[in-house]
Structure 1
Amino acid sequence: AILTMANSAVFNPNTLHTHVSSKNENIKSLSQNKAIQKLKYGEYYVNMASTIKPLTILIGLNEKLFQPEDTYLDKGTFQYDNQNNITNAPGTPTGEITPRQAIINSSNTFMTAKVALPLFNQNNGNIEKVAHIWTDYLMQFGLRSKTGIDLPFEEDGQYEFHPSNKFENGISALLNASWGGNEVHTPLQLAQYAATLASKGDKYKPQIVSAIMSQDGKETKKFKPILESSNRYPMEFWSVVQGGMSQNIEEIKNLPFHVAGKTGNTDSPNEQERMINHSLFIAYAPTEDPQIAISVVIPGSNSEKNIAALVTAEVLEFWHTLQ
């Protein structure tokens, strides 16, 4: 069940009074629940950025594109062709790295050179087949499909890499998708993704009601968790993924329990064409026995620090005090 949902002051359910027109679009304009909608900054959607990388690594492992202890020399940049030159942010080489370290160091080049391109080649350049494979993995973890939560106006994500892509656009979209560059998903989809990582492949439907209580405080009905899908992967794969999510995150290191998390940073131009930073973070805790999963997306955070991770730390600390 969902413990809490919060977003900016744009969403105020009290505005939905009886004088509002019953037309669907008029009501929707007053019920901008950002937790279940794609987030924008100006005219640009905020993509999931590097929060996808734990899943990208899991895909690479499961497709046998590399082994858990294989290494890759990350030079900070990877050029596929004249149109596709992938760089780390901010173009920093990280040297010889394993898949686990690729998550820790958030290596864009590893995702493209060791996952996206080998997946393309392994399927004989059939971009439509690769798109179906990619989409299937993401849907297993709550991405690229609505969660089905019992709230109105939930939106689906937006993405460039899909089976109808032409070849020229498809390979470029695949390379970018591997590090989250064109994958846009709602905060709730990201939270379900984090929860599915926490449960090692079990995807549960988000529910806003856990029980119905009578006036005298007695429980009259309890809603059981709804398991939507269960996908099994070797434990050694999960050790790589969780190991990569449990290291080198400054903002959560002082919490009194272990947290697995992944930062995401992306940017888009404002009206003055100045690039503005957006901050994302997904996490679950405690790492050893997950009880909570969370996603935080802050468009326009425009800070060198990952503000979303700082917010996550405060939320998790408060959650811990309630246990």
Structure 2
Amino acid sequence: MQDDPQKREIVNRRNFSFRLNLFFFATFFVFSVLIVRLAILQFVEGPSLREEEEKRGSKDVLIPPIRGNIYDSGGSPIAYSTSTQSLHYSIEPGTKKADSIAMAQKLFEVFQKYGNPKTAVTLEQIIKNMDLDYKKNTVTVPRRIKSGLTQDEIAYFMENRDLYQGIDIVEESIRHYDTSKFAVQLVGYLKKFGGGAENNLYKDRAKTDDPRLKYLQQEDVGYDGLEYMFQDVLRGKNGLKTYPVNAASRVIGPPVITKPEKGDNIYLTINRHVQEVTEQAIMDQLHFLQTTPDRDRHEDNAKTGYAVAIEVKTGKIIAMASMPDYNPNIWEGGKISTEDYDMISNVLQNGTISPVIGPYKDPKEQRKHPSSVVFLGSTQKPLSILIGLNEKLFTTNQTYTDTGSFYYGREGSTRRRIGNAKGHVYGVLDPAKAIAKSSNPFMAKMVGDALYRKDSDKGVAIWDSYVKQFGLGADTESGLLNESKGVIGYFHEEEAASAQSALILASFGQMGRYTTLQLAQYAATLASHGKRMKPQFVKEIRDADGKVVQSFQPEVLNTINFPEKYWDEIETGMLNVSVTEFNNAPYKVLRKTGTSQQQVSGATVENSVFIASAPAEDPVIAVAVVIPEGGFGAYGAAPVARKILDAYDDAIGMNGVPKKPKTPVNPPTTGTGTTGTPAGTPAGTTTENGKTDTTQ
């Protein structure tokens, strides 16, 4: 039976209608789900999604801060920063190297047209500064292309910003230093942050995630001296340009600006007049020693000098000079040529706190000369007397007859003689007179040998304990980078020879080499009757508005308690040390000369050492002067000390009332100067192992 066509048509229509309704229902269901999902996204998940989008939707570009200034005690600038406009280039994600090179060509053409011909940069320099191979920077770090933009260059880029993708103009600072070369090694210098990968301070700073504290690779940072010591204070905080970006990290709008915070300013304890006099006095004295026809004073190899002046009661450093020095503006821009570095390498370090050898380029020649860390020689003797008195090795009234020689050791080849230079015989000496005459046999017999015989096992350790309380062989706690603790030799001598030998040689200053700062701290500790003060270089820190944010108070590191009569005894001796340089001084001076002998490459050299404090009745200032290979302490170092003390009296005043400087002080010369003042007659001498060792 055949199907009825009409019925088949009806069935087909019903099936089509069902399928159509099913399709519409499915479509309605799908759209309903989509609408509900969109509603959930907008009203439920929308805020959190927008927050997440905002996290991905911005990019910070750092604006380096202006570095704080460094001023002397009177408020005159020593190191200061000026602002300049620099062009930076940021590599956008997805940027091809060829596109960056094309950008470099465009920049080169702009610089050629609008820039200063004297500061022109080449196309090769621009490409190098872009760091397209990421040798110095990650992709997100802006590259400095050129500093010191002209007003025409700035105006052009501001007007045509849209044509230069990734380009930004940033205000930066350039460091300048006093052209008179003021306290150069103490102040320090700046280098690029990117060059400090091995520096522990900058390793630590590189770990921060705080964008306001993060360093730029091309940022100038402190690398030595106070610039390094107060880096965190001087630097300030970054500013930010926060750009909105799309999902592809491309900038899509203007930035939000967070201004940088200028670094704080530091005001030093260094007095300009005293510092300048100190620097000039050293250079004058070096010239005098090298050129004088006086055979007793002539020293061809006296080519470096070091001096520190410290206030006895506060620890404030009034002057610190390491001479010769150099012009620190050679570091302008945070970098230096190889030729310039070679020229200053011998005077770059601070010889008052670390070993520095004279201006000798040849390593073989360098090995023939001592560094700035020298044996203290007879400047040791006031402390030796204090040790002897406190250990009850003798009394203030006890005497010793100096026959010109003291022998120790077994008879034969190991027998050793300690004597006075030029065969001097001083006769009957009490402790004070032993200091005044600088008797080596007295120190050897009454202190060194006596301490050994009192306690042969612990004698050297006892000695070490005493000298370190006065800062010799100990950290001065100045905080300066690369400061040496000195070189103590008595433990080695005890092992290699004997405790007796170690103590005897130490008693007149031939077992310890110390820095000039250590000697100044030691001199101040003697003058204060046992209060060792922390050296301080900064009196206060002020913000950019001039508000004091931190001030520094005197800090006692340790106190040595001796009976007052012991201090009186050494002061009597120091007052009577014969140095004609101080015969006409308007104030009384506690002083001690030293002329230490040192074996260098098989030859014997003599270093000139001098310590002093004034006024003797109530010392306020102490000085230490070291002239390596400068001969007698009274000849080489004492004239410098006299000029420093006079300058202090002029500028600050021994009694707290300053006298005005008599004449202006010119910047120190670099190799020659006016003839130095001849020193007085040396007061005492030393012979070690039968050889003259003029530690006086």
- After TM superposition, the score normalised by the length of structure 1 is 0.89
Structure 1 unaligned regions, length at least 5: none
1:203-282 superposed matches below 5 A = 203-213=532-542, 219-247=548-576, 248-268=578-598, 273=603, 275-282=604-611
Distance 1:12 1:37 in 2: 20
> Retained in 1: the 8 A contact 2:393–2:447?
yes
In the TM superposition, residue 175 of structure 1 has moved relative to its aligned partner by 1.0
> Retained in 2: the 8 A contact 1:111–1:178?
yes
1:51 maps to 379
Distance 2:356 2:588 in 1: 29
Distance 2:535 2:398 in 1: 36
1:89 maps to 421
Q: Which amino acid aligns with 2:593?
A: T
Provide the secondary structure at the position in 1 that maps to 2:557. Answer: strand
In the TM superposition, residue 260 of structure 1 has moved relative to its aligned partner by 0.3
User: Cα RMSD between the aligned structures?
Assistant: 2.7
1:111 maps to 443
1:64 maps to 392
Structure 2 unaligned regions, length at least 5: 1-315, 359-367, 652-657, 659-696
Structure 1 pair 135–292 and aligned structure 2 pair: CA distance change class (3 A): same
In the TM superposition, residue 221 of structure 1 has moved relative to its aligned partner by 2.8
Q: Which amino acid aligns with 1:64?
A: K
> Retained in 2: the 8 A contact 1:38–1:156?
no
Between stretches 171-180 and 156-165, larger displacement belongs to: 156-165
In the TM superposition, residue 110 of structure 1 has moved relative to its aligned partner by 0.5
**Residue 36 (structure 1) aligned with residue 368 (structure 2):** no
Structure 1 pair 288–70 and aligned structure 2 pair: CA distance change class (3 A): same
1:6 maps to 321
Q: What CA deviation, in whole Å up to 9, does each residue of 1:279-305 have, x standing for no partner?
A: 110011111111111100001224685
Aligned mate of 2:403, from 60, 63, 75: 75
- After TM superposition, the score normalised by the length of structure 2 is 0.43
> Retained in 1: the 8 A contact 2:594–2:633?
no
Structure 1 residue ranges (4+ consecutive) displaced by more than 3 angstroms after TM superposition: 10-17, 26-31, 38-45, 213-220, 267-273, 302-305
Distance 1:190 1:206 in 2: 12
Larger Rg belongs to: 2
Distance 1:271 1:228 in 2: 38
Between stretches 300-309 and 82-91, larger displacement belongs to: 300-309
1:100 maps to 432
Q: Which amino acid aligns with 1:6?
A: A
Q: What CA deviation, in whole Å up to 9, does each residue of 1:154-197 have, x standing for no partner?
A: 11111211289327343222211110012100000000000100
Q: What CA deviation, in whole Å up to 9, does each residue of 1:78-108 have, x standing for no partner?
A: 0012342111223311000000000000011
Structure 1 pair 228–4 and aligned structure 2 pair: CA distance change class (3 A): same
Structure 1 pair 95–140 and aligned structure 2 pair: CA distance change class (3 A): same
Distance 2:616 2:542 in 1: 32
- Whose RCO is larger (CA < 8 A, sep 6+)? 1
> Retained in 1: the 8 A contact 2:593–2:634?
no
Structure 1 pair 143–272 and aligned structure 2 pair: CA distance change class (3 A): closer
> Retained in 2: the 8 A contact 1:211–1:219?
yes
2:160 maps to none
Q: Which amino acid aligns with 2:351?
A: K
Q: Which amino acid aligns with 1:250?
A: T
Distance 2:317 2:462 in 1: 30
Q: What CA deviation, in whole Å up to 9, does each residue of 1:252-272 have, x standing for no partner?
A: 221111110100012346789
**Residue 196 (structure 1) aligned with residue 525 (structure 2):** yes
Distance 2:405 2:317 in 1: 40
Aligned length: 315
Distance 2:620 2:633 in 1: 30
**In percent, how many aligned pairs have the same letter?**
38
In the TM superposition, residue 132 of structure 1 has moved relative to its aligned partner by 1.3
Distance 1:192 1:16 in 2: 31
Structure 1 pair 217–309 and aligned structure 2 pair: CA distance change class (3 A): farther
In the TM superposition, residue 8 of structure 1 has moved relative to its aligned partner by 1.1
Q: Which amino acid aligns with 1:48?
A: L
